[in-house]
């Protein structure tokens, strides 16, 4: 069993700040924990907009506090986000994520797991997992 507390992640290398200050993410579970997914808490700062496009990952995001919205760039549809909203990026959906009046507190999981060494590229993507093909085969049965 692994037990971690937010207090020990804040200020460690598991806490990652966006270069532009739009978000901060605490990575509770990473690839080397060998869970098959990674698990993050991401704070999206109020009033910010971030372009994200996870071309190599599936991600589920659940909001537990604050407010904001997600714009699906394929359809143009804007979905409000508040405590209790979940979105699943099951089709590598390119999107804009906006913080609202308050900072938004999001719980996120990735498949394949984030290793912790990725950086968002200019498209808002992360590099593929070293065994991305195996994960894809499992997802697609």
Q: Which residues bind ligand 9YT (CB under 6 A)?
A: 16, 25, 27, 40, 42, 52, 59, 61, 97, 106, 108
Residue carrying structure tokens 């950086």:
119
Q: How far is the CB of 89 from ligand 9YT (least distance, A)?
A: 8
CB of 45 or CB of 135, closer to ligand 9YT = 45
Q: Give the residue with the Cβ less far from ligand 9YT, 11 or 141.
A: 11
Q: How far is the CB of 48 from ligand 9YT (least distance, A)?
A: 11
Which residue lies nearer to ligand 9YT by CB, 93 or 135?
93
For ligand 9YT, which is the closer residue by CB, 19 or 140?
A: 19
Residue number with the shortest CB distance to ligand 9YT?
Answer: 25
Query: Which pairs from 8-17 meet CB under 8 Å and 24+ separation?
Result: 13/116, 14/116
Per-residue buried b or exposed e for 67-100, using 16+ beta carbons within 10 Å of the residue's own CB = bbbbbbeeeeeeeebeeebebebeeebbbbbbbb
Determine the Cα–Cα distance for residues 113 and 30; give it in Å rounded to an integer.
Answer: 6
């Amino acid at each position: 069993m692994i037990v971690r507390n937010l207090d020990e992640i804040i200020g460690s290398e598991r806490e990652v700040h966006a270069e532009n200050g739009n978000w901060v993410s605490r990575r509770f579970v990473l690839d080397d924990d060998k869970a098959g997914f990674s698990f993050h808490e991401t704070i999206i700062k109020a009033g910010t907009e971030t372009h994200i496009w996870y071309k190599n990952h599936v991600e589920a995001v659940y909001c537990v506090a604050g407010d904001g919205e997600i714009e699906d760039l394929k359809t143009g549809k804007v979905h409000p986000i508040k405590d209790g909203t979940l979105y699943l990026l099951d089709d590598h959906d390119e999107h804009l994520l906006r913080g609202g009046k308050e900072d938004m507190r999001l719980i996120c999981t990735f498949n394949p797991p984030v290793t912790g060494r990725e950086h968002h590229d200019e498209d808002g993507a992360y590099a593929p997992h070293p065994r991305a093909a195996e994960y894809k085969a499992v997802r697609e049965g």
